[in-house]
Chain A
Amino acid sequence: MLRRIAIVGASLAGLRAAETLRARGFDGALTLIGDEPHRPYDRPPLSKQVLQGTVEPEQTFFRKKDGYDALALEMRLGVRATALDLRDRRVTLDDGTFADYDRLIIATGARARTIPGLASRPNVFVLRSLDDAVALRQELTTASRVAIVGAGFIGLEVAASCRARGLHVTVIEALAIPLAPILTPELCEMVAATHRDHGVDLRTGVTVTNVVGDSRVAGVVLSDGSQVSADVVVVGIGVIPNTEWLQSAGLTLDNGILCDGSGQAAPGVYAAGDVARVANEWHGDSPRIEHWTNAVEQAVHAAENALAGSGASASFSSVPYFWSDQYDRKIQFAGDARRHDEMVIVDGSLAERRLTTIFRRGERLVACLTVNQPRALIKYRKLLAARASWVVALSETAAS
């Protein structure tokens, strides 16, 4: 008998799971537990519109129009899950209470990685939560020089937002080019050039070796001996999945929660979003994916399987998709470009910073990246989902 479902994690995945459970007719007790004090909100605007000041923090909340009455949730906000007992089907919370469940959906997400020695300083920030964004935005109103550690998507979006505010921006990246683990060298160089043209002082191949200033950071010393002065430091060096509370639960944890194709991590226990590693048929692996659309798809999948029972036969197949807005450029990426054999620019050019590139592995189309060509991305994402061959992808290109 399915009477109680608990969802741990009240961000996008947790919310979409709750919505799906109700939409599929679950009318039992539904508890949504979140460690932040806020109702579910949308994270993509935080590094962009919220930092720039064009969107107010409260505009990022989901369900502004619909509200929560129809979902009939027991919303437990500002409460952190500390342990899971699979045998008793019980989640322990840090306020001394418990949430008992017949089915559990874990969507505890990830948190920003920090740098020891920097993290406790009052003018050093990460950007993950709404509170992070509000605090950073407040600090930016009086700052003039910002140092950003890490040239990943978050670091670069923050850089673009700070430039939009007219601040002096230095980006410090340990690797030789920004986004190196994600894009190919020529695309990384194009992104680097875009930032330099917008006035960002981009320092690559260097790390922070020392901090200047007592309590507040006044600057950082880099491994090449140079010094960067800063009123504000933002650290954007990736995330860590929030699985510590599951350490002794008996789930398989390895850079996230390992799940089968139904999203199930243990009988009756499902996971979704940034914290999950769901076996993905399209991908051929169980990747941990930190993208918005992945959180939605996995949450819906987990919720449907939680209601269906064992769900052992259900499989998950999804083309990873993400986007990044920097200045007037929209970078979109679909697929999996690891170990690709060939990359072809099929429209536009690196020089224009407006292009469509597609990636081949073996005989298959495996990925597509566009800059300011959203319609092309849609076309190739569809071909990717259909597992189109390279020949077909090229013929589609010629036809357009």
Chain B
Amino acid sequence: MKIVVDLNQCDLHGLCVEAAPEVFEIGDDGQLHVLNDTPDEGLRAKVDKAVRECPTGAISLET
């Protein structure tokens, strides 16, 4: 899977950071960073949770 984040949509709710801290982080610059945009399948459940819980729909997956 490949993670795509639309930073224009990101509203910094940070639910993705809670769902998948291995993948998402809010940096000192106050922006969302994708630490690994092609994570292992083992992280699929966490990434799915991040996608469905994002209030602005900013995160999508390309398979």
Measured CB to CB, the residues of A under 8 A from B are 16, 19, 23, 42, 44, 62, 65, 292-293, 296-297, 300, 321, 323, 330, 332, 374-375, 377-378, 381-382, 385
Contacts and interface: CB of A to CB of B under 8 A. Distances in A.
A374 B14 contact: yes
Given A19-B52, A300-B52, A378 B57 contact: no
A42 B57 contact: yes
Given A300-B52, A375-B26, A381 B14 contact: yes
A374 B13 contact: yes
B12 A375 contact: yes
5 contacts: A293-B53, A323-B55, A377-B14, A378-B26, A381-B18
B17 interface: yes
Contacts of A300: 52
Nearest to A65: B60
A385 B18 contact: yes
A149 to B, nearest CB: 27
Overall SS of chain A's interface = helix
B52 A296 contact: yes
A23 B48 contact: yes
B55 A292 contact: yes
A19 B13 CA distance: 22
A44 B57 CA distance: 12
Contacts of B52: 16, 19, 296, 300
A296 B13 contact: no
Interface string B31-63: 000000000000000001000110101001000
A23 B61 CA distance: 14
Given A374-B12, A375-B14, 12 more contacts: A19-B52, A62-B57, A293-B53, A300-B52, A374-B13, A374-B14, A374-B30, A375-B12, A378-B14, A378-B26, A381-B14, A382-B18
A203 to B, nearest CB: 31
A292 B53 CA distance: 9
Interface of B: 11-15, 17-18, 26, 30, 48, 52-53, 55, 57, 60
Contacts of B57: 42, 62
Nearest to B12: A374
A23 B49 CA distance: 11
Nearest to A374: B12
Nearest to B30: A375
A292 B60 CA distance: 19
Question: Which of A62, A330, A332, A375 gathers most chain B CB within 10 Å?
Answer: A375
Contacts of B17: 378
A44 B55 contact: yes
Contacts of B48: 23
A374 B48 CA distance: 22
A293 B16 CA distance: 12
Contacts of A332: 13
Contacts of A42: 57
A80 to B, nearest CB: 27
A389 B1 CA distance: 38
Contacts of A292: 55
A293 B15 contact: yes
Nearest to B53: A296
B53 A323 contact: no
A142 B7 CA distance: 35
A290 B18 CA distance: 21
Contacts of B60: 65
A199 B55 CA distance: 30
Contacts of A330: 11
Nearest to A62: B57
Nearest to B61: A66
Question: Which of B17, B52, B57, B60 gathers most chain A CB within 10 Å?
Answer: B52
Nearest to A300: B52
A318 to B, nearest CB: 11
Contacts of A323: 13, 55
A128 to B, nearest CB: 18
Contacts of A321: 15
